[in-house]
Structure 1
Amino acid sequence: MEHNVSLSSRDTLVGFHLPYLVQHAQPTDYNVALKNAAEGYERARQMAAFLFDIVDYESSIPQQFSPQEKKEKYTWDHSDDFPPHLSIIPSVDRVNPFRIFSPLRLVQTLRIISSLWNADNSKLAPGPEQNTMKKLTEWNQERHKEQGWVLKDMFNDPNIGLRNDWYTDAVFSQQFFTGTNPTTITLASDVWIKDFADEAISQGKHGVVTLLTSAPPRSFYVQDFSDLRAKMDTMPEDVLYSCSDGAWRYGCAAVALFYLPPTGKLHPLAIIIDYKGSMAASVTLFNKRVDPADNSVDQANDWPWRYAKTCVLSADWALHEMIIHLNNTHLVEEAVIVAMQRTIPASHIIFQLLEPHWVVTLSLNAMGRHVLVPEVIAPIAGFSASQILRLIRNSFTNFDWKALYVPNDLESRGFPLDQLNDEKFHNYAYARDIKDMWMTLRKFVSSVLGHKYADDEAVAADPHIQDWCDQMRSQSGAGMWKFPQSISTVDDLIDIVTMCIHIAAPQHTAVNYLQQYYQTFVPNKPSALFSPLPTSLSHLESYTESDLMAALPLKAKRQWLLMAQIPYLLSRQVQQDGNIVTYAAKASKNKDPIIAAAGKGLSADLKKLANVFLENSKRLDDQNTAYNVLAPEHLANAIVI
């Protein structure tokens, strides 16, 4: 039977003909196959139509608008549960999705979202026979060995599951220094240390008690997700869960305690699998291996501890995807763009410095709000859609600009700038790289603004800067009350402009482009747990391999595929014309001699940083995975994906 179907450009985005789907459908009943394929096709077609409606026009001709025209074109939308954002993207800013994403990866993703991928027989999801961790790891490794596939997919790139030691304490810990979210590990407070010590005493964990009371000061750090419930306006005792496609998913607010000795090898000591307001109301498990050199414990078969580590990484998935990545880069940068378009002329030096770092952000964010969050994040997270939106909005409103300036952030989290090159912190490559990149970008910004503004009085007298501050803080604008109330000194202006570039370039690069490696292998960092959490320590201590396997989405194939595919979609390698090196080269040719001179200086500094970052990576104890995500040639100049 032949079918001749004419596809529009929107249908082409879906990437396949309906008859092809029917032909390859698995149900034996042709009518059932036709119905299932038609429904899935229509859903995919509607999503593709939306993408083209929102980004179907590109203008290569720069347009100049009057201040009033810009205010009319760049209007705030406060009508939904997302943080304030651009209402309608002006045609001059719209970008075709094929320029943003790899067309093949986008088509593959739309097929999964629309349930048109036959998950039960796909090579991209494991089957019921992969019912042990060993089999699951081998399955992942076999997929990477296969050659001659017609189409590339997520297994063409490496992931952490190719390592036979991916589950160990060492690899688990290192992810918080050089993984997808290396931005939130922080020095343990005296309260946390006391609470863990009291719990260790209660459980008779004398080795932990001895270490907690005898180690040098500032030796203990935490990954603390205990406030997730509060940020979602949820009670401490409430169970975090969601359900769609018949798959029940559970979230958790885990807390992990780490020991960082002078040798710099981060080691996990204890985990609260789901903090419910107090240690007494929560389940806390201590590592049998108090000493990281202890080889008497079989890490591969310590299932209660492996489950606890999975809880931590699942909580980190939620924090990373919804706050660190989506909110703290994408949505925050959009607020900067809209506020600046409404208040600062295109001829203004601040506008000229920041505009090259915007590129496709507005179109990308619109797709995030209409497709990524409702069609991807919500169906795989362990929280309800309303909880997710409250979490995002709370984080946006309370985004603390000055506190998150890189020097302030590192110091406040217990990583002193003047000690980052010490042996104790040699494994924290992100901290060393991001500190140097911040200083380099700040030098570039300073070399421009220091010439444009003669003194602090000149900054204070610039009405556009105050208008920008007001727009960022106002409830009728972005509503970000922790944005500076005023910017009245040259140094303050340099810092905030550096921060805007930092968010769009190095910070987004650091938390986006490693997702493929760490998250495509779902067991390493699942988006949720697919069985209820244990409610007592004795229950957790009785866990076996089957309990951990039940917590993975082995029976929820669509969720598995979404967890694995989205990191692949978002980790497309930065093209040369979009990296920070090319940006510096273009700046060096700017018609403004001040910007040109600063651009030349930035180019020279980036060359030096490339070597510094390479040496930082070489110092890592774990040489199985180099940390080069912030290397200048890999560093995106903007939020381009």
Structure 2
Amino acid sequence: MAEYKLEVTTGDMTNAGTFDHIYVTLIGTGGKSEQTELDNYGMDFKPGMTSNYTVKTSSSLGKLLLVKVEKDPFLCLPEDEWFCSKIVVTTPEGEAILFPCYRWISRGELVELRGGRATKVFEDDHPLLTDHRKNELMLKKTLYQGAELMFKGMLGSTESWGKIEDIKNIFRSTETPMSEYVSEHWKEDDFYGSQFLNGVNPNVIKRCSELPPNFPVTDEMVKPFLAEGTSLQKEMEEGNIFLCDYKVLDGLPTKVYDGESLHVTPGFIMFYLNPENKLMPSAIQLYQQPSEQNPIFLPSDPETDWLLAKMFIKNADLLQHQAVYHFTNSHGLAEVFTVATLRCFPVIHPLYKLLIPHFRYTLQINTAAKKKIFGPEGILSQSSLGLQGNVELAEKAHSKLTYDDLCLPENITARGLESISNFYYRDDGLKLWNIIYSFVKATVEYYYPSENDVRNDTELQDWISEIFTHGFLGNTTSGFPSEFMTVEEVIKFITMIIFTVTGQHAAVNNGQYDYYPWIPNGSFLLRKAPPTTKGQSSMKTLLETLPDVGLTGKFAALSWILSNKYTDTVPMGSYPDEQFDEPAPKQMIKEFQAELSYLSEEITTRNSQLEVPYTYLNPAVVENSITI
């Protein structure tokens, strides 16, 4: 007689338990056990409970391969699904084997759990395991049919704002220290400039060594705003001139509002990094082609002219941020990565175990976003671009996306931003990237000790092929891999994925309620046309340009929703669902967590010295997956 000891853990979320009968069958290389009901005296399978059971067999089953779990109804009660977290089986020989589950099991359902160390497809050494792996992938490819990008009182008021100060009333009860700071400093040029480095869209600004020919800023125009004794050309040569170019917005359809098409300005803004290391906006052209009706606005222009020019640039920046950098390049790509992982990797695959915690809730939040954000009645349909314009913007930008754009070290170098001062997104982001890289490198090299391991893993090759085809549209000029030939290629790609769904999403998402509720600092919609001549505007013009009271409330509510968190948030590097059974990857996770903790302390210490702290890449507040 042989005895197998089972520890069965039920999830700790609400309604995870069950009153139904649970049966298990153990399957090994030497045979299988009888179907055994898991039943102790008293209540079994309560939320958060770990219960112990014994399965007896006439002799040892040999190497334990699978645990078959079945759920039958109890009496005539309504369906109550059971969330099984994991089963740990200790064999008669004393080996404890983890069988991860982490899923809901319905009445009458049969689930076969595979345990032990993670394996690649060519490492399965038993026909039962080979069949189980093949059947699992067939089912998953049926369930997940292809990966596609996600893009294919106050609230009813139409009155204009009477004065700027009244806008505070819409978020006074929920304002953050940062949103309050924004409302007080939004007019200041140095604060405006800092947002292009450390606000919610640090993705557009580039170092400028030569001005575009269609942005004819002259030395005479900007000399009053440069240091004494220098020139525009000299400052460009010294690396102190920076540019944002919004040409991707050119030619897009816009929303029809009150019978007229709204205006979106696909222009330029030039910044000067002054001797005090402040990034100052120094020249703005609102459209691509210069003309008398498209003047270059300067800080010396009348106050409301300059404020309006900055507002239209911020509108363009916000629209690009939301459609491209937030939804397409983080949410949309995360969906592609998630679906490919679910379709191409069985749960025993080491890369499934590594990646799946970083896709928690991604499909759920994207499903909701498609309706609430990008649906016909979604909030972006009420932006200056309207629904069609936002969709075309996302498609246009995605067609130009490159692998380097998503790999932060290459991205920073390509934009010439390696040495600009006070760029905390870069500083924290590169440190986070390197920590992720070290963790991924250790894990991947443990499971793929040679290049042949990579080339022979057909599931891995299928995975990257699906991502290349559906996520990057088979674009061979983009630099994205369509196959893997080396271990290093796998390491870099997985580092990019984990950084995208953790740090990068946090950087472009978590500060939205800090910067966007104060609508003058950045609005989804501007009602009036931008100025075409100087000296004709007033504060009344500015208030009439801002969205009306009702839309202001909706946009502020959206920023609050997008920045909110679930109550069961999982911080970066936390893995409550135990996937790995081997000591080595478990130790790698501990080292990863330690490095994240050190970075968190470093960022917290730095922020304590800053008037405007940069918190969005602190691992303590970065989520392990895209959940909002």
Q: For 1:566 and 1:119, locate their aligned partners in 2 and report how far apart those are by CA, in whole Å.
A: 12
Check the 8 A contact 2:137/2:343 in 1, yes or no. Answer: yes
Higher CA-based Rg = 2
SS in 2 for 1:508: helix
> Of 537, 544, 559, which residue of structure 1 is paired with 2:538?
544
Instruction: Write the letter of the residue equivalent to 1:171.
Output: F
Provide the TM-score with structure 1 as the length reference.
0.71
Provide the TM-score with structure 2 as the length reference.
0.72
Q: For 1:332 and 1:574, locate their aligned partners in 2 and report how far apart those are by CA, in whole Å.
A: 21
> Of 542, 563, 569, which residue of structure 1 is paired with 2:561?
569
Q: For 1:394 and 1:70, locate their aligned partners in 2 and report how far apart those are by CA, in whole Å.
A: 32
CA shift at 1:342, angstroms?
Answer: 2.1
> Of 49, 68, 77, which residue of structure 1 is paired with 2:138?
68
After superposing the two structures, state which structure 1 stretch, 369-378 or 343-352, moved more: 369-378
Q: For 2:142 and 2:245, locate their aligned partners in 1 and report how far apart those are by CA, in whole Å.
A: 43
Which runs of no fewer than 5 residues in structure 1 stay unpaired? 1-56, 85-116, 145-152, 235-239, 290-296
Larger RCO of the pair (alpha carbons < 8 Å, separation 6+): 1
Check the 8 A contact 1:250/1:531 in 2, yes or no. Answer: yes
Q: For 1:200 and 1:258, locate their aligned partners in 2 and report how far apart those are by CA, in whole Å.
A: 14
Instruction: Write the letter of the residue equivalent to 1:442.
Output: Y
**Distance of aligned partners of 1:639 and 1:304 in 2 relative to their CA distance in 1, 3 Å threshold:** same
SS in 2 for 1:436: helix
**Distance of aligned partners of 1:405 and 1:158 in 2 relative to their CA distance in 1, 3 Å threshold:** closer
Pairwise CA RMSD of aligned residues? 3.1
Alignment of 1:178-577 (within 5 A): 178-192=198-212, 196=215, 198-200=216-218, 206-207=223-224, 211-215=231-235, 216-229=237-250, 234=252, 241-243=254-256, 249-261=262-274, 263-275=276-288, 278-280=289-291, 283-288=294-299, 302-374=303-375, 375-416=377-418, 419=419, 424-425=420-421, 427-474=422-469, 479=474, 482=478, 483-534=480-531, 536=532, 539-554=533-548, 557-573=549-565, 577=569
> Of 173, 176, 195, which residue of structure 1 is paired with 2:196?
176
The one-character-per-residue Cα deviations of 1:345-372 (angstroms, maximum 9, x if unpaired) are 2211111111001111101111111221
CA shift at 1:321, angstroms?
Answer: 0.8
Check the 8 A contact 2:372/2:379 in 1, yes or no. Answer: no
CA shift at 1:438, angstroms?
Answer: 0.3
Q: For 2:260 and 2:156, locate their aligned partners in 1 and report how far apart those are by CA, in whole Å.
A: 15
Check the 8 A contact 1:396/1:480 in 2, yes or no. Answer: no
CA shift at 1:324, angstroms?
Answer: 0.5
Q: For 1:558 and 1:410, locate their aligned partners in 2 and report how far apart those are by CA, in whole Å.
A: 39
Q: For 1:513 and 1:480, locate their aligned partners in 2 and report how far apart those are by CA, in whole Å.
A: 31
The one-character-per-residue Cα deviations of 1:496-555 (angstroms, maximum 9, x if unpaired) are 001111111111111111000100111110112101223x3xx2442221221111013x
Q: For 2:427 and 2:259, locate their aligned partners in 1 and report how far apart those are by CA, in whole Å.
A: 45
Q: For 2:564 and 2:470, locate their aligned partners in 1 and report how far apart those are by CA, in whole Å.
A: 36
- Residue correspondences, number: 496
Check the 8 A contact 1:471/1:478 in 2, yes or no. Answer: no
Check the 8 A contact 2:297/2:309 in 1, yes or no. Answer: no
Q: For 1:120 and 1:341, locate their aligned partners in 2 and report how far apart those are by CA, in whole Å.
A: 43
**Distance of aligned partners of 1:181 and 1:205 in 2 relative to their CA distance in 1, 3 Å threshold:** closer
Check the 8 A contact 2:283/2:299 in 1, yes or no. Answer: no
> Which of the two has greater strand per residue?
2
How much identity, in percent, do the aligned residues show? 22
User: Which residue of the partner structure matches residue 124 of structure 2?
Assistant: none
CA shift at 1:186, angstroms?
Answer: 1.1
SS in 2 for 1:256: strand
**Distance of aligned partners of 1:207 and 1:450 in 2 relative to their CA distance in 1, 3 Å threshold:** same
Q: For 1:356 and 1:521, locate their aligned partners in 2 and report how far apart those are by CA, in whole Å.
A: 35
Q: Are positions 1:632 and 2:619 aligned together?
A: yes
Instruction: Write the letter of the residue equivalent to 2:508.
Output: V
User: Which residue of the partner structure matches residue 113 of structure 1?
Assistant: none
CA shift at 1:208, angstroms?
Answer: 6.2
Check the 8 A contact 1:161/1:524 in 2, yes or no. Answer: no
SS in 2 for 1:190: coil
SS in 1 for 2:250: helix
Alignment of 1:65-144 (within 5 A): 66-76=136-146, 83=151, 117-119=153-155, 130-133=161-164, 135-136=165-166, 140=168, 144=172
Check the 8 A contact 2:200/2:512 in 1, yes or no. Answer: yes
SS in 2 for 1:471: helix
Q: For 1:72 and 1:386, locate their aligned partners in 2 and report how far apart those are by CA, in whole Å.
A: 31
Check the 8 A contact 2:182/2:521 in 1, yes or no. Answer: no
